[in-house]
Structure 1
Amino acid sequence: MKSHEHNVSGKSPAPGNAKKFAVWARKLWPLPILLLATLARVYGSTASAIWCDEGSSLLMSQYSPSLIWVHSAHDVHPPLYFLLLHAWIAAFGDSVFSVRFISVLTGVGTVALGMWLAYQIATRRAAVLAGVLLALLPIAVRYSQEARMYSLMGFFLLGATIALVYWVKNPERHRYLFVYVLLMAASFYTHYFTGLCVLSHWAYLLLVRGDKRRLITRPAWWVANSLIVLLYIPWIPSLIDLLQHLDQLKAGGDIGWILPVTLHSLPSTLWQYLALTDGLDLKWPVYFALPLALALLTGAVCRHDRSPHKLHTLMAIYTFLPLIVVFLVSWITPLLVERYLMFSALGLPIILAVAFDRMKRSFRYAAIATLVTFLAVELGGLSNYYQKDDDQFNTLVNFVNENYRANDRIIVSDLFWYFSYVYYNKTGSVPLLYTPPQANGASGRPGNYGFGTLVNNDADKIYFDSLENLPVGQTRVWLISNSEPPDDFSPIPENWHKVSTLKVGDTQVRLYSVRLPYNVKAN
C-alpha cells in the first residue's frame, strides 16, 4: 500500500522499473529504426506515376507462371521477381501502392539485415548507426518505391552476406552455407548482376585464413557454389539464348542505351548513392570531398580491422569491388547504372557506421560532425527526391479516359510510354503502338527479345504502321508521344484537324478529328 502511495505521489519510479525499461530498450532498439525505414519508404510511394520499366513488370506479371518463365527468358531480367509480383497482385491487387509495397517490404527488411550484419561484425552502437543511415539512404529509398527487382535483389544479397559471415566464424557449421546457397540462387534468378556479389565474396575469401587453412580451399565452399550452379541450370539455356540475341536487344533499345563512362562517372555514382544526384553542378571541392571522405574512411576501417576474420574488409570489398569492376568494364561496354549496383551501395552505411563507431572512441567530436554531415547529405537527397511534379503521366492518360468517345482510336508512339499507358487506360479500347518502317525500309516493329516479347503475341491487334492507313469511318484519334521535337508522328495527314493538346512533362497527347471524304459516311 505504501509503495502505491509513493508512486502516485509523483516521485521517481522504483529502480526495478527503470532497470526493466533499460532491458526492454536494449532488446527492442531496432523497432524505432525499422519504423523510420518504413515511413521513409511509404511516404510518397504513390506520388510518381508508373513508368516504362514498372509497366513492363506489371504486364509481365499478368501472364501465367509458365509464360512468365518463357517471356522473361526473352527479357533482360530473370523471372523470380515477376513470379513473386504475379502472386502478390493475385493476393493484394494492382493498385500503385500495392505493386510497389512488395519493394517497400524488402527495403525495410534490408535495413533489418543491415543492422544484423553490422552487429555481427562490430558493436551494437555501429548497428544502430548503420540502421539509421540505411533507413535514410536515398538510393535504397528510391528503389524501395519501384515495382522492379532491385530492392529484392539487395535483400537477398545482404542476407547471403550475413550467411557468409556466420560460416566464416563457424566453418564447421554447414547449415550457414545451405542458407547462403538458397539466397544466392534466388538472387541469380532475380538479376544477372548477382555475379558481382559472388566475385566480391570470392575475393574476400582469397584474403582470409581460417583457423588452419584458407576458407576458400574448404570442400564445403566448393560444394556450396556447385549447388548454386546446379540450382541455376534450368535457367542457363535461356541465358545463353538471350546472349545470342544481343543484336535484337540493341536494336530494340533494351540494351545499348547506357551512356559511356567518363572519369567523373565513379565519384558521380557515389553521389547518386547518397544524394540521388551526379553532383556535377557542385563546386569541385565539394564534388570531390564526398568520394574522398568515403575513400579515407573506408581505408581507415580496413587498416584498423583487427578482427581475425577481417569482416570489415569484407564489407569494403562488397561495397566497392562491384562498382570498380563495372566502371572498368564500362570503358569497353557501358554497364554503369546505379540501380544495377544498389545491392552494393547497401554496404556503404555499414562501413560508415563502423568508421564512426571507431572514431568516437578517440575523436568524439570529429565523429559526430562527420556523421551529421553524411546524414545531412542523405536528408538533402531525400528532400529533393520527395519533391515530385504534380503533372505525372497518369494525368495525361486520365485526360484521355475522361474525354474518350466510343470508336476513338488511341495511338502511342513508343513502347517507353505504351506500358505505362496500358496500366492507366480505363477506356476499354486497346491502345495501338505506332511502328512505322525505318528510314532504310526495315520494319519498325519490336523484335521477339526485350520489351518486344510482351507485345509481339498481339501484333495483329496493336501494331499500327501508318497514319494514312486509318480505317475508313474513323473520326477521332488520340496521339500520345514525346513533347519534344522531332515529332514521332510527323507528317500528320492533311485531313486531320487538331482539336486539343495536353502536355505533361516530356509527353503530350493530341486529339485530332479526321475529315472524311465527301463520299464516305461515318459509322
Structure 2
Amino acid sequence: MATAAVPRTNRRFELRAPDALLAAAALIVLTAISIYVRTRSISGSFWMDEGLSVGIASHDLMDIPGVLREDGSPPLYYMGLNLWMDAFGRTETAVHWFSLIFSLLTIPAAMWAGWSLWGKRAGYIGAAICALNPFLTSYGEEARMYSLMALLALLATACFLHAFAYRRGRVYVVLFAVLQTLMLYTHGWGIFYGLAAFLALIFLWWRSEERRTLAIEGLAAFTAAAILFLPWLPTLLFQAAHTAAPWGRAPRFGAPIQISRDLMGGDRASIVMLLVGGFGAAAALAANKGRNDGERLSIWVLLLIPITTLVIAWTISQITPAWVSRYFAVALAPMLLLTALGLARARVLGLVALAALAVFWANPRPFVDGYKSSVRDIGAEAGSQMRPGDLVITGQPEQTPLAWYYLPAGLRYADSAGIVDDPRHMDWVDAMDKYEAAQPRDVLPPLLDSLRPGQKVLFMRPLTEGVENWSAPWTQLARRRSAQFGAILQADARPGGTLRQIDVAPQFYRGASTVGNVGILYEKVRDQPATQVP
C-alpha cells in the first residue's frame, strides 16, 4: 500500500515566452528534418494493402462502413481518406501525405506529452525521437492507418497518465475516453490497447489512496468508450466470425527480435534505448523509492501497457492470427514515451544516446522503399494495350484493388474464384473456404469463353520466389492457384489454342520490396473450348 496519496493538481502545460519561442523553433526544425527524411519515397508505388486502402476509400463516404463488413477493419481511417482524396486527389503522393501528416503530428504531440508530464527535457527528447523513429518514417509514407494509430495511442497514453497517474482533472478523463474510442474505430488492436490500459488502471487503483474517485473516473472513461463503440459492435462480431486473417501465421518466441527490428529500427538502436533508457528509468524509480508520485507510477504504466498489449495479441494470435509488426503502432507510443522519460533522467548520457539514435535513424533507406510492387509498371506496359471490356485475372485475390488502381478504366476483373463485381475491395468473408472450393478447371474456361476474338486477358501472377513468405494457409493457396491458372493459360496459348501470348510485363523487374508480380498479356484469337489440365 502506498505511503502517500498522489497530489491532485490542475497544473497545465504552461510556457513562459522564452520557452514558447524555443519550443516553437525546435518543432519547426524537427518537423523540417522529419519531412526531408520521410518524403524520400513519398511518390513511390503502392503495394496491395495500399491498393485496398484507396479502393475502399473510393466508395461513397456512407457506403464505406458496409464495404468494411467484408474486410475486417473499422471505418475511421478509410472515411478520412475518402474526404482527403476528394480534396487533394488520389495520386500516390497525395495519398501518402495523408499518412505523413499523422506521422509529423507525433512530434508536437510527444513534446506536449513529455513536457507536461516530466518536464521540458523529456518533451524535447520525445519530439526528437518521434521526428526520426523508423516505424513512423515507414508508415508515414504508406497509405495505411498505422501512423494515425500511433498518434492516437501517444495522445491517449499521455491523457491516461494525466488523468489517472497524476490525477490532474476530469478533462483528461474525457480526452482519454474520446481518444480510446477513436482508436477502436481505427484498428482492431485498439481493443488490445484498451484491455492493457484497463489493467494499468487496476494497478493504479491498487496503488492509490483515492480508490473510490479513481474507480468512478476510470470506469466512466472506459464505459464511455465502450458505449461510443456499440454502433460498430455488430459489424465487429460479424467480421470476427467470418473475416479472419488466413494470410497470417501464429507468432513464436522471436517476437522481441521482431519488435526490435520493426519498431526501433534495428538491434543497435534497441540496445541503446534499452540500456540508457532503462538506466534513466531505474534511476528515477530509485530516486522516488517509497513514494507514490506520478513519475514513478508513469514508469510502471508505460511498461505495463505495451507489454500487456503485445502479450494479449500474441496469445490471441495462437488461435486466430492477428500478429503483424505493422499492428504494433499501439504499443510503440508508450514505448517511445518511456524512452523519452528514461533518456531525460539519464541526463548527459541520455543526450549521447539520443545523438546515437539520430545517427542510426537519419538514413531512411533501410526502412522505406519506393518500389513496393511491380503492378505500377505492369499497368504502364500492359495496361496501355488493353481496351474497355478486356479481362484482368489476379492470381492473388487481394491484389485486385491494386490492379484496378493502376490499370485503365472499363476493364473486367476476376480472380481464382471467378468474376469480381467490385474490384475496389477484397471480400474476405469465409474467403478460405470459398477459394478452396473454386477449382481452376471450372472457373477459368467460362472466363475465357466470355471473351470475343481480339479481346485481351491479362493474368497478373504473384512472384513467389521467397517461399518462406508463402507458407500461411492463404498464401499457399494463392501460390497453388496461380500456378494452376498459369498452366491452363499457357496450354491454351499453344498452336491451335484460343489464345496468343503477346506481352510480358514488366520488361525490367527491379525486385519489389513487398510482393512482386508478373503480368502476362494474351489475346483471344478464336472461339473454341479452352484447353484444360487434369
Instruction: Please give the range of the TM-score, normalised by the shorter of the 2 chains.
Output: 0.7 to 0.9
| Contact 1:330 1:336 (8 Å CA) reproduced | yes
| Contact 2:164 2:214 (8 Å CA) reproduced | no
Query: Once the 2 structures are TM-superposed, how far is the Cα of residue 475 of structure 1 from its aligned partner?
Result: 4.6
Aligned partner of 1:327 among 314, 323, 332:
314
Aligned partner of 1:415 among 393, 397, 407:
397
| Contact 1:215 1:221 (8 Å CA) reproduced | no
Q: Deviations over 1:356-406 (max 9, x none)?
A: 22222xxx3x445433443333235x2313454497421111112333356
| Contact 2:27 2:107 (8 Å CA) reproduced | no
The SS at the match of 2:195 is helix
CA distance in structure 1 between the aligned counterparts of 2:359 and 2:51, rounded to whole angstroms:
33
| Contact 2:277 2:343 (8 Å CA) reproduced | no
**2:525 matched residue in structure 1:** 515
| Contact 2:157 2:333 (8 Å CA) reproduced | no
CA distance in structure 2 between the aligned counterparts of 1:475 and 1:223, rounded to whole angstroms:
62
CA distance in structure 2 between the aligned counterparts of 1:185 and 1:22, rounded to whole angstroms:
33
**1:257 matched residue in structure 2:** 247
1:498 corresponds to 2:485: no
User: Higher relative CO (CA 8 A, sep ≥ 6), structure 1 or 2?
Assistant: 2
CA distance in structure 2 between the aligned counterparts of 1:418 and 1:429, rounded to whole angstroms:
14
What aligned pairs does 1:124-163 form with structure 2 within 5 A after superposition? 124-163=120-159
1:429 corresponds to 2:410: yes
CA distance in structure 2 between the aligned counterparts of 1:224 and 1:356, rounded to whole angstroms:
31
| Contact 2:133 2:264 (8 Å CA) reproduced | yes
Read off the aligned partner of 1:371 and give its amino acid letter: L
Query: Once the 2 structures are TM-superposed, how far is the Cα of residue 302 of structure 1 from its aligned partner?
Result: 6.8
1:469 corresponds to 2:453: no
Query: Once the 2 structures are TM-superposed, how far is the Cα of residue 20 of structure 1 from its aligned partner?
Result: 8.9
**1:36 matched residue in structure 2:** 33
**1:204 matched residue in structure 2:** 200
| Contact 1:37 1:111 (8 Å CA) reproduced | no
| Contact 2:99 2:144 (8 Å CA) reproduced | yes
CA distance in structure 1 between the aligned counterparts of 2:195 and 2:177, rounded to whole angstroms:
15
| Contact 2:145 2:187 (8 Å CA) reproduced | yes
Identify if the C-alpha distance between structure 1 residues 312 and 450 changes in structure 2 by more than 3 Å, giving closer, same or farther.
farther
Q: Deviations over 1:272-302 (max 9, x none)?
A: 1122x6x7xxxxxx79957964894486267
Aligned partner of 1:75 among 53, 71, 74:
71
Read off the aligned partner of 2:107 and give its amino acid letter: V
Read off the aligned partner of 1:122 and give its amino acid letter: W
Query: Once the 2 structures are TM-superposed, how far is the Cα of residue 326 of structure 1 from its aligned partner?
Result: 2.3
| Contact 1:298 1:351 (8 Å CA) reproduced | no
Q: Deviations over 1:146-191 (max 9, x none)?
A: 2222222222222222222332366473222222222211211111
RMSD over aligned CA atoms reads: 3.3
Identify if the C-alpha distance between structure 1 residues 373 and 171 changes in structure 2 by more than 3 Å, giving closer, same or farther.
closer
Query: Once the 2 structures are TM-superposed, how far is the Cα of residue 260 of structure 1 from its aligned partner?
Result: 2.6
Q: Which moved more, 1:408-417 or 1:263-272?
A: 408-417
Q: Structure 2: which 5+ residue stretches go unaligned?
A: 1-15, 419-425, 433-442, 465-478, 529-534
The SS at the match of 1:87 is helix
The SS at the match of 2:341 is helix
Identify if the C-alpha distance between structure 1 residues 265 and 160 changes in structure 2 by more than 3 Å, giving closer, same or farther.
closer
**1:449 matched residue in structure 2:** 429
CA distance in structure 2 between the aligned counterparts of 1:288 and 1:90, rounded to whole angstroms:
40
What aligned pairs does 1:351-430 form with structure 2 within 5 A after superposition? 351-360=338-347, 364=348, 366-379=349-362, 382-389=364-371, 392-404=374-386, 408-426=390-408, 428-430=409-411
Larger Rg belongs to: 1
- What is the count of residue pairs matched by the alignment? 461
**2:184 matched residue in structure 1:** 188
Read off the aligned partner of 2:501 and give its amino acid letter: K
Query: Once the 2 structures are TM-superposed, how far is the Cα of residue 130 of structure 1 from its aligned partner?
Result: 1.6
Identify if the C-alpha distance between structure 1 residues 139 and 476 changes in structure 2 by more than 3 Å, giving closer, same or farther.
same
Read off the aligned partner of 1:180 and give its amino acid letter: F
Query: Once the 2 structures are TM-superposed, how far is the Cα of residue 303 of structure 1 from its aligned partner?
Result: 3.5
Q: Deviations over 1:92-148 (max 9, x none)?
A: 211112222121111111222112111123221222122111111111111122222
The SS at the match of 2:487 is coil
Read off the aligned partner of 2:124 and give its amino acid letter: V
| Contact 2:153 2:334 (8 Å CA) reproduced | no
CA distance in structure 2 between the aligned counterparts of 1:148 and 1:71, rounded to whole angstroms:
17
CA distance in structure 2 between the aligned counterparts of 1:305 and 1:143, rounded to whole angstroms:
38
**2:331 matched residue in structure 1:** 344
What aligned pairs does 1:281-320 form with structure 2 within 5 A after superposition? 293=275, 296-297=278-279, 300=282, 303-304=285-286, 306=288, 308-309=293-294, 310-320=297-307
Q: Deviations over 1:396-434 (max 9, x none)?
A: 1111233335664433333232111111123x3324213
Query: Once the 2 structures are TM-superposed, how far is the Cα of residue 322 of structure 1 from its aligned partner?
Result: 1.5
| Contact 1:274 1:377 (8 Å CA) reproduced | no
Query: Once the 2 structures are TM-superposed, how far is the Cα of residue 218 of structure 1 from its aligned partner?
Result: 2.8
| Contact 1:271 1:290 (8 Å CA) reproduced | no
The SS at the match of 1:146 is coil
Q: Which moved more, 1:153-162 or 1:136-145?
A: 153-162
Q: Deviations over 1:310-359 (max 9, x none)?
A: 22322222333322332344344433211111122133333222222222
Identify if the C-alpha distance between structure 1 residues 475 and 176 changes in structure 2 by more than 3 Å, giving closer, same or farther.
closer
The SS at the match of 2:42 is coil
| Contact 2:505 2:518 (8 Å CA) reproduced | yes
Query: Once the 2 structures are TM-superposed, how far is the Cα of residue 305 of structure 1 from its aligned partner?
Result: 6.8
CA distance in structure 1 between the aligned counterparts of 2:61 and 2:317, rounded to whole angstroms:
34
CA distance in structure 1 between the aligned counterparts of 2:59 and 2:373, rounded to whole angstroms:
31
The SS at the match of 2:116 is helix
Query: Once the 2 structures are TM-superposed, how far is the Cα of residue 228 of structure 1 from its aligned partner?
Result: 1.3
Identify if the C-alpha distance between structure 1 residues 138 and 450 changes in structure 2 by more than 3 Å, giving closer, same or farther.
farther
Query: Once the 2 structures are TM-superposed, how far is the Cα of residue 215 of structure 1 from its aligned partner?
Result: 7.0
Read off the aligned partner of 2:189 and give its amino acid letter: F
Query: Once the 2 structures are TM-superposed, how far is the Cα of residue 242 of structure 1 from its aligned partner?
Result: 2.0
**2:461 matched residue in structure 1:** 481
Identify if the C-alpha distance between structure 1 residues 451 and 135 changes in structure 2 by more than 3 Å, giving closer, same or farther.
farther
**1:218 matched residue in structure 2:** 215
Read off the aligned partner of 2:462 and give its amino acid letter: N
Aligned partner of 1:93 among 76, 89, 94:
89
Aligned partner of 1:114 among 106, 110, 115:
110
Q: Deviations over 1:20-45 (max 9, x none)?
A: 98873255432212222333333322
Identify if the C-alpha distance between structure 1 residues 355 and 451 changes in structure 2 by more than 3 Å, giving closer, same or farther.
same
CA distance in structure 1 between the aligned counterparts of 2:431 and 2:104, rounded to whole angstroms:
30
CA distance in structure 1 between the aligned counterparts of 2:518 and 2:361, rounded to whole angstroms:
34
| Contact 1:261 1:336 (8 Å CA) reproduced | yes
Identify if the C-alpha distance between structure 1 residues 241 and 115 changes in structure 2 by more than 3 Å, giving closer, same or farther.
same
| Contact 1:408 1:474 (8 Å CA) reproduced | no
Identify if the C-alpha distance between structure 1 residues 465 and 237 changes in structure 2 by more than 3 Å, giving closer, same or farther.
farther
Q: Deviations over 1:438-469 (max 9, x none)?
A: xxxxxxxx8562889xxxxxxxxxx9664542
CA distance in structure 1 between the aligned counterparts of 2:314 and 2:380, rounded to whole angstroms:
41
The SS at the match of 1:499 is strand
